[in-house]
Chains A and B, each alone.
Chain A
Amino acid sequence: MKLYGALIAVAAISLAAGLAGSVGALQPLLGIGVPYCALAILLVGLSWRVIRWSRSPVPFRIPTVCGQQISLPWIKSSRLESPHSTLGVIGRMGLEVLLFRSLFRNTRSRIDQGPRLIYGEAKWLWLGAMAFHWSLLVVVLRHLRFVVEPVPAVALWLDGLDGFFHVGVPVLYVTDIVLIAALLYLLVRRLREPQVRFISLFTDYFALFLLLGIALSGIWMRYFARVDAVAVKQLALSLTVFSPSLPKNLSAWFFVHLGLVCTLAAYLPFSKLMHMGGIFLSPTRNLANNNRMKRHVNPWNYPVKVHTYEEWEDEFREKIEAAGLPVEKH
């Protein structure tokens, strides 16, 4: 139900966008109105989410420490797994954000006869996640050539690198293949592993299908439908300078792609896909393990009812004195 529901939802969005895109009168709405709306929702939504997160304070310094602390000078501390300085924290976050350090730790466990636990390495999830996120980044950067003129060097360079194999016309991008493969892996994993399937929600499948839809429609446009790239660029450039003009010869396939991208942009702030922003704020990762070195201040620290020494001595005075222990008051 969750799975098919999500599939149907994404298919319906694609169909609606494609149909509307083939009706001339609806093209301005789809090519100009929807992208602006989606972008506005994305920007406002993103800021709203990030502001809401940052408005909740971090009352305690609670890093999850994954290495040796800094203590005695002759014990080597782990600067990245248990950072005690800002530099170390930046390093740890860098590893986390760029290389998915924690996911790399992944292990599998099973129990054998005995019962006895056995652990195996499980790097597939890490590999799939790396492949997906990095190729997505490259794909997004490659798209810069549509919205910036002159095309930035980084986009050209990535373009060349990505099409390194010079297979086919137009040149086949490696990241297209990797992106699709990684998404399929993540989907299959979600379906085939009982644990992951058990925890999966409609939204998990929806996000996957949405991304798959975007990738597939993009590939279809480039390699098979051969959409007029010049026209696309015209539209994109006109949008960026806020004087939108709609070229005539845009195909319905382009509108499918654009519709899905706009859906993703508008959906993103309300979804788990916000994890890309959240990771930077995660208090178990972005704080230094220097708790006893540097005092952390809790902005809402408030006085609490305690059992004072005086109250304690009053209650037990006779016993304390009988035991020969010193008291404040006799």
Chain B
Amino acid sequence: MANPKPEELVQIQYPTPSKGWMDPAVEFRKGTYCYSALARNLNYLGLPNAREWQPFDADWKLPPDWKRIILDGMKERLEKFRSFRLFMDICVRCGACADKCHFYIGSGDPKNMPVVRAELVRSVYRRYFTLSGQLFGALAGARDLTEDVIKEWFYYAHQCTECRRCSVFCPYGIDTAEITMIVRELLNLIGCNINWVLEPAANCFRTGNHLGIQPHGFKDSVDFAVDELEELTGIRVDASINRKGAEVLLVVPSADYFGTPHYYTFLGYLALLHEVGLDYTFSAYASEGGNFGLFNSHEMIKRLNAKIYTEAKRLGVKWILGGECGHMWRVLHQYMDTMNGPADFLEVPVSPVTGTRFENARSTKMVHICEFTADLIHRGKIRLDPARNDRWNVTYHDSCNPARAMGLLEEPRYILRSVCNQFHEMPENTIREQTFCCGSGSGLGTDENFEMRMRGGLPRANAVKYVRDKHGVNLLTCICAIDKATLPPLLEYWVPGVDVAGIHELVGNALVMRGEKERTTDLRGEPIDQKEVAHA
């Protein structure tokens, strides 16, 4: 390149996009997309257009009448969801949502502003479903539906984790998650889905859990945990499976009995429920609380979620207790009763330990374990020794859905303050209803999407970095299985020295069990008295 002359240097021309955001061209760069769903998973679930393809292919092998399918699908959903129709109509483009999205903040890609992500769909809506769009075209913000638009939708609908942070700030409550969900449904109609969503969904449909663990494998995992807990505490707990006549059905995300750090939380549940003598059982058929259907379509949510009530009925339990999981609780709290209820064969949940009636769950009949535990602690039904968690300096990450779908804000904090001595909140604008997503929710936590996740998780990581540097925090607690899977690599990259744990892991550590042997290690098998300092 020739050396620019000084006068040339002054005139800087930035490459100007000719059509602004209306130009649908996207580039599928390595590390910024998820692989397509395998044909066998689509076939197993009976979904259309199963084929071999990848997002970076030029030809996506769409069905010949794909355009009609999408437009018919849009029409149907406009008539079925007031949210969709309204959110297509009322945005004033004030930009309040713009810098609220973690993907936008982390990547700077303007199409990741929630408003633009929605405009990608709105422009098509205007073109085909409104008079002004049909008459005035681009002037009214309308554009044609082309194959490039489909690719663009696919790209950006999978750069939204459905965390709903933007909808907190929107003056009309426009919820990008709702739009993303509908767009993914539409893409699903022409077979454009990602494997990290459909494989877990297919597994869950068949075996009962996302990991595809078959009944005997599930039993082995639970037995293994029981053995390990005995080694750690000297107490053998009873964790039954598919036992009829139990009072409570316990449903947890499958990662709890398979991955780490989830597993330690699972040990925490086992210890706690044994200590208070809850009469509960697991189900191998409904061995998954999480619901990857949420990332695919409303119909798939219902298909996967149906198992929980079915199984509660078959086993004859009185009510259901749910473990720590984010999207799982979005479904349980906001969808389950509507989709698969009414649960009139169950009873209003009553804690047999404290007698507390969970009036807030009187219709759905499912209680969050943090509600259950907070009640136990408040009524003084368990003995806790928070000093056993002294090696941890703790902060709490509000997992998106328990925060913004449920409002489960104080229960986990109350528990944390009771089970550990050092607790510090992250900055105000990054917690509670304003919490930042881990950057990997809604089925985006894939290995191939790693770099995008690091960008999307940057805002969360920064808040953690802040409390690490200021207060020496070395443990980030959360109540979401996806968080527990994806925050560790996020922190490993941006904030080394901070570990991740579930709330009930700390409960399990602090819990003084009747008849336990002297605890020398915590649930991770590490010495209790050792106090670690965060290494910056």
Contacts and interface: CB of A to CB of B under 8 A. Distances in A.
Contact between chain A and chain B defined by CB under 8 Å: yes
B409 A105 contact: no
B360 A292 contact: yes
Contacts of B361: 292-293
Interface in A33-92: 49, 52-62, 64-72, 74-78, 81-82, 84
A164 interface: no
B260 interface: no
Given A278-B172, A316-B215, A199 B82 contact: no
Contacts of B116: 198-199
A203 B164 CA distance: 27
Nearest to B45: A305
A103 B173 CA distance: 10
B66 interface: no
A163 interface: no
Count chain B CB atoms within 10 A of each CB in A5, A129, A201, A300 and give the residue with the most.
Answer: A201
Contact of B173 (A64, A71, A271, A305): A64
A71 B357 CA distance: 10
B303 A281 contact: no
Given A274-B90, A282-B172, A196 B95 contact: yes
Interface string B182-211: 000000000000000000000001111000
A195 B99 contact: yes
Count chain B CB atoms within 10 A of each CB in A49, A70, A111, A295 and give the residue with the most.
Answer: A295
A330 interface: no
Interface string B359-370: 111111010000
Contacts of B80: 56-57, 59, 300
Contacts of B92: 204, 272-273, 275
B411 A71 contact: yes
Interface stretch (B52-60, B262-270, B455-463, B518-526): B455-463
A111 B462 contact: yes
Contacts of B466: 116
A305 B170 contact: no
A198 B21 contact: yes
A56 B171 contact: no
Interface string B86-104: 1001111111101110000
Interface in A275-330: 275, 278-279, 281-285, 289-298, 300-301, 304-309, 312-313, 315-316, 319-320, 322-326, 328
B407 A204 contact: no
Nearest to A270: B132
A196 B93 contact: yes
B459 A117 contact: yes
Contacts of A108: 99
Interface string B303-345: 1001100110010000000000000000001110111011000
B534 interface: no
Contacts of A301: 338-339
Nearest to B360: A71
B360 A70 contact: yes
A203 B122 CA distance: 14
Count chain B CB atoms within 10 A of each CB in A58, A201, A271, A292 and give the residue with the most.
Answer: A292
Contact of B172 (A56, A125, A285, A315): A285
B307 A283 contact: no
Given A61-B334, A125-B94, A292 B243 contact: no
B146 to A, nearest CB: 19
A193 interface: yes
Interface stretch (B152-160, B271-279, B398-406, B475-483): B398-406
B173 A320 contact: no
Count chain A CB atoms within 10 A of each CB in B298, B310, B360 and give the residue with the most.
Answer: B360
Contact of B206 (A76, A278, A307, A328): A307
Contacts of A55: 79
B360 A304 contact: no
Contacts of A71: 358, 360, 371, 408, 411
Interface of B: 20-21, 46, 78-86, 89-96, 98-100, 105, 110, 113, 115-116, 119, 130-132, 139-141, 164, 167-175, 178, 205-208, 214-216, 219-220, 241-244, 284-285, 298-299, 302-303, 306-307, 310-311, 314, 333-335, 337-339, 341-342, 356, 358-364, 366, 371, 374-375, 378, 403-411, 414, 427, 429-430, 433-434, 458-459, 462-463, 465-466
Closest 4 CB pairs of A and B: A69-B407, A278-B90, A284-B173, A323-B216
Given A116-B462, A284-B83, 5 more contacts: A56-B79, A57-B82, A193-B95, A291-B333, A295-B363
Interface of A: 5, 49, 52-62, 64-72, 74-78, 81-82, 84, 96, 100, 102-103, 105-109, 111, 114-117, 119, 125, 129, 193, 195-196, 198-204, 270-275, 278-279, 281-285, 289-298, 300-301, 304-309, 312-313, 315-316, 319-320, 322-326, 328
19 contacts: A60-B334, A65-B404, A68-B407, A68-B410, A100-B171, A111-B462, A116-B465, A119-B427, A202-B139, A202-B140, A204-B93, A279-B172, A279-B173, A283-B83, A291-B333, A301-B339, A315-B206, A324-B219, A328-B314
